[in-house]
Amino acid sequence: MSDIKKSGIITICGRPNVGKSTLANALAGEKVAIVSPKPQTTRNRICAVAVRGESQFVFVDTPGLHRARTRLGDYMVKTARQSVADVDGILLMVEPVEKIGPAEAELIDRIGQQKRTLGVKAGLVINKIDTVGEKEKLLSVIAAYSARLDWDLVMPVSARTGEGVEELLGELAAWLPQGPQLFPDGMTTDQTERQMMAEIVREKLLRELDQEVPHGVAVEVTRFSQRDDGIIDCSATIYCEKESHKGIIIGKHGAMLKKISTEAREDMERFMGEKVYLQTWVKVKENWRDNPAAIQNFGYTED
């Protein structure tokens, strides 16, 4: 019988590359969302589940709010904007910079509306404090954001090092309403294993490729099965938008694709706890980011 007595949904929002997925992974205690130094890594709404004592937290990692240039970008921005609705709490994640940008300003307005009309809790999470030499500098950041909204919680953290993460969970426990758990015991994300395998391959593409190429890729897992001896067979097709991009992904004598596949396989094995046999192919699907049917086929669909 479960010991969970409180549970709730808390959205993590912010502009691209501020560290939302890194925080989601830190809160869940394992990798549930891919991360890379490139902006707009997260394309879909992802749930990260954490349990502490009698409390179950469901954190929603969202795409960063940015200026969309494709239909896929439109979908990502819409997902980010909708993420602040129908939740128990919202965390705005920012970097330790005093200036408030357009993306943060828009999110503050949306969060404020939810707070005033529905009583949703609102928190400010200042990330990357490990990059700040003198912690007193955070006071001006807090003052700037506090002038825009009366936050229920202000917490400086480093999602990368874990500093402040447990303290954040402790404070957020008071936000959760009484009620049964929302996810079964042991479940840390709403993503399927097949989805995670595709995302792991895409993460390696983002990490290894430069400029525009990685933003124009999608990954589809066409085979995912387990043998009697426990080995997992996984086949993944990488789609890109141009023949020239296909050549870059494959690399000279296939070196780049081999490197990406090896790194992905090793990460898959850590995630699954089993040996993985991974096969990868590269295909061209021109302008798929502006093709509604292709966007839906690759799993970027609205609820």
Q: Has residue 256 got a pLDDT over 90? A: yes
Secondary structure class of 31 (helix, strand, coil):
coil
Side-chain half-sphere exposure of 128, counting CA atoms within 13 A: 11
Which structure tokens are listed for 104? 């943060």
Single-letter code of the amino acid located at 274: E
In angstroms, rounded to a whole number, what is the distance separating the alpha carbons of residues 111 and 171?
Answer: 19
- Helices 243-250 and 255-272 pack at an angle, to 10 degrees, of 70
Q: What are the domain boundaries of the chain?
A: 6-175, 193-297
Strand order in the sheet with 46-52: 46-52, 55-61, 6-13, 89-94, 121-126, 153-156
**Under CATH, what is the fold of the domain 193-297?**
GMP Synthetase; Chain A, domain 3 (3.30.300)
Residues 6+ apart with CB under 8 A from 113: none
**Under CATH, what is the fold of the domain 6-175?**
Rossmann fold (3.40.50)
End-to-end CA distance of the chain: 31
How does pLDDT run across 12-31, given as a tens digit for each residue? 988 888 898 899 989 988 88
- Helices 193-208 and 255-272 pack at an angle, to 10 degrees, of 140
Single-letter code of the amino acid located at 180: P
Strand order in the sheet with 232-240: 218-226, 232-240, 276-284
251 — alpha (psi -120 to 50), left (phi > 0) or beta?
A: left
How does pLDDT run across 59-110, given as a tens digit for each residue? 988 765 545 456 665 655 566 565 555 789 999 999 999 999 988 998 899 8
pTM score, two decimals?
A: 0.79
Find the Cα–Cα–Cα–Cα dihedral 12, 153, 167, 199, rounded to 10°.
0
How does pLDDT run across 160-213, given as a tens digit for each residue? 999 999 999 999 999 999 988 888 888 888 888 998 899 899 889 988 887 667
